[in-house]
Structure 1
Amino acid sequence: MATIDWQGVMPAVTTKFTKDDKLDLKMFEVNINAQLDAGVSAIILGGTLGEASTLSQEEKKELTEFTVSVVNNRVPVILNIAEQSTKDAILAAKNAGDYGASGLMMLPPMRYNATDNETVAYFERVAKSTDLPIMIYNNPVDYKIEVTLDMFEHLLKLDNIQAVKESTRDISNITRIRNRFGNDLKVLCGVDTLALESILMGADGWVAGLVCAFPAETVAICNLAKAGRIQEAIEIYRWFLPLLELDINPQLVQNIKLAEVATQIGTEHVREPRLPLIGEERKRVLKIIEEGMATRPQLPDYKTLSI
């Protein structure tokens, strides 16, 4: 079984498109290299930010294989699974391995509001079908299914279910997980606006969104907090928060892609039915990005910290 050290900053990267709606692998490589240069711990493909629901199977294959090639074993490449049926999820897990991915991030069944028993069975059957390490994405706010601690009690009997992307919006849940499972379940914050608080309460890492545009600042906050340099982390986080709030918005993809344009590691192109922001909302988002760029902090040497 492959192994993943579930810690640090793991960007859920955007998928880059050309103006004629093809994969823009050239700009995608620019962004991936910026993430690696900043010191991220993994690359996560095919999440909401990656516009996965609009990608064809061939595009997912091309994107994954290309990322694996660019990353070249420097960090794990993790593919998200968000399927409607157990059969399709098992196939997606097999494909991920065939494409060279090192691990999986898994949502509960999509569209159908599965019971606790059905959700556990879904995760178990997919996990038993693959050797890839798995991080469960627990986001009951957006996806209406909560993976409870009792459910994790069953799931952790499987060696390759190892981590949770914690997006319940309840900071106390990190302490509950630690009290119940110790370090047997790795915890990564999945909500940008709760990331520093989560790390201070014991989260192992951060599955991040605005990292797509600001990789160095994101990793700096995580590393400083883990190294005990809390005040320095807080100061950067306070600067970052207006930008991070662009992630907790229905148009998070458009918002973050606009920010990537500002930092010159992305383009604004989205895939329909998404459209670029217009009108007053576009002005509002651009103002936040422009203010963030104008006051971008000087970062300490965060890469050499003992954490």
Structure 2
Amino acid sequence: MSIQWKGVMPAVTTKFTEQDTLDLDMFAVNINAQLEAGVHGIVLGGTLGEASTLSDAEKSTLTQETVKLVDGKVPVLINIAEQTTKGAIAAAHTAERDGATGLMMLPPMRYKAGDAEVVAYFKAVAESTSLPIMVYNNPVDYKIEVTLDMFDQLLACDNIEAVKESTRDISNVTRIKNAFGDRLKIMTGVDTLALESLLMGADGWIAGLVDAFPAETVAIYELQKAGRIQEAIAIYRWFLPLLELDINPKLVQNIKLAEVHTGIGTEHVRAPRLPLSGEERAHVLEVIKKGLESRPTLPDYKNL
């Protein structure tokens, strides 16, 4: 399956049991809720997926199970976040073997690589696999920016096709479009800039709060695509306090707590993360409560 870089693709959370093993039953509940809402792809093992805590075997299990669950309906991407080029190439080969449709790739972890090193890293992986690649550009959290000059070099690799644009600079959508047109597809990666990015020309949305609110997220995308901008804005304004739970160091705990209250997740996280407590927990619960109390009635967004 080739990837149509468009629409809403959830960066799904990884579900754990109380015994700190993969909870594949609850994982399936959430994936099925995403598919029912009409998402356009699934992204595994990202920041929200607690990537740094997962073993290679667990990543393989999640990929294989997701491929079975989606049954060809949407593409399945697995994130690569490795410390070495050798490790990243091995991860790409494993993803291909496990049936993934594509890769989301961060720059090298831990070592703050220079521009030439980052370009060489991405190129080496791209040349080692036939899978399409989306570069995850998040200098705010990961301290390395993939610049336009670097993308100009990377696009020599035909299978580097998209960017998850998480610089938090809304103007970057226009810069990328001006520089590369449709050669580099743009998937906005910041929930609180999502609608703005889509209206400025982003092709899709790698979303976080979609994990708890799949229908509302897809409705925003479909409404703006259909030109029903004011309806999209109305839902987005309701959604914004919840979306702000994504731009927070505790985004995993925040979103998992929201999933509990919409019935499609659990609160279990993997140590060193701990569930929210005290005033922090009370604040997030209040945001979720207010959101649920004023949850909008959605139009028939699937048939626009």
Specify the alignment match of 2:279 in structure 1: 280
Counterpart Cα distance in 1 of 2:16 and 2:244: 24
Q: Deviations over 1:21-58 (max 9, x none)?
A: 11110000000000001111100000011011111111
The amino acid of 2:148's aligned partner reads L
Query: Partner residue of 2:29?
Result: 30
Please name the residue that 1:139 is paired with: 138
Amino acid at match of 1:98: R
How big is the alpha-carbon RMSD for the aligned residues of Structure 1 and Structure 2?
0.6
After superposition, what is the alpha-carbon deviation per residue over 1:201-247, rounded to whole angstroms, capped at 9, x for unaligned? 00000000000000000000011111111000000000000000000
TM-fit CA distance, 1:295: 0.5
What is the CA–CA distance in structure 2 between the aligned matches of 1:60 and 1:180, rounded to whole Å? 35
1:298 Cα deviation from its structure 2 partner: 0.3
Counterpart Cα distance in 2 of 1:113 and 1:51? 21
Alignment of 1:209-224 (within 5 A): 209-224=208-223
- Distance in 2 (CA, whole Å) between partners of 1:103 and 1:189 is 17
Correspondence for 1:114: 113
Report SS of the residue matched to 1:63.
helix
1:83-131 Cα shifts (integer Å, max 9, x gaps): 0000000000000001110000000001111111110000000000000
Secondary structure of the residue aligned to 2:276 is coil
Q: Does 1:302 align with 2:298?
A: no
Q: How far apart, CA to CA, are the structure 2 residues paired with 1:168 and 1:51? A: 20
| Distance in 1, Cα, partners of 2:303 & 2:117 | 45
* Residue equivalent to 1:263: 262
**Equivalent residue, structure 2, for 1:254:** 253
Matched residues in 2 for 1:132 and 1:198: separation?
26
Which residue number corresponds to residue 90 of structure 1?
89
C-alpha distance in 1 between matches for 2:98 and 2:38? 24
Q: Indicate the residue corresponding to 1:158 in structure 2.
A: 157
Tell me which residue corresponds to 1:181. Answer: 180
Cα separation, 2, equivalents of 1:22 and 1:190:
28
For the residues of structure 1 that align with 2:60 and 2:121, how far apart are their CA atoms?
23
SS at match of 1:78: strand
Match of 2:13 in 1: 14
Give the aligned residue type for 1:126.
V
Cα distance between partner residues in 1 of 2:284 and 2:229: 29
Describe the SS at the equivalent of 2:249.
coil
Alignment of 1:69-108 (within 5 A): 69-108=68-107
Q: Which residue of 2 aligns with 1:46?
A: 45
Aligned length: 304
Cα deviation, residue 144, structure 1: 0.9
Deviation at 1:62, TM superposition (A): 1.0
Structure 1 letter corresponding to 2:13: T
Instruction: Report runs of 4+ in structure 1 exceeding 4 Å deviation.
Output: none
Q: Which amino acid aligns with 1:115?
A: G
Structure 2 distance, partners of 1:113, 1:75, is: 34
The residue identity in structure 2 corresponding to 1:117 is A
Distance in 2 between the 1:257 and 1:220 partners? 21
Q: What is the letter of the counterpart of residue 198 of structure 2?
A: I
Deviations 1:268-295 (A, max 9, x none): 0101100000000000000000000110
Deviation at 1:304, TM superposition (A): 1.4
Distance 1:295 1:251 in 2: 24
Identify the residue that residue 170 of structure 1 maps to in structure 2. Answer: 169
Task: Report the residue type matching 2:37 in the other structure.
Answer: A
| Equivalent position SS for 2:78 | strand
Q: Which residue identity lines up with residue 255 of structure 2 in the other structure?
A: I
Distance in 1 between residues matched to 2:185 and 2:210, nearest whole Å: 20
Gaps of 5+ in 1: none
> What SS does structure 1 have at the residue aligned with 2:9?
strand
Q: Which amino acid aligns with 2:164?
A: K
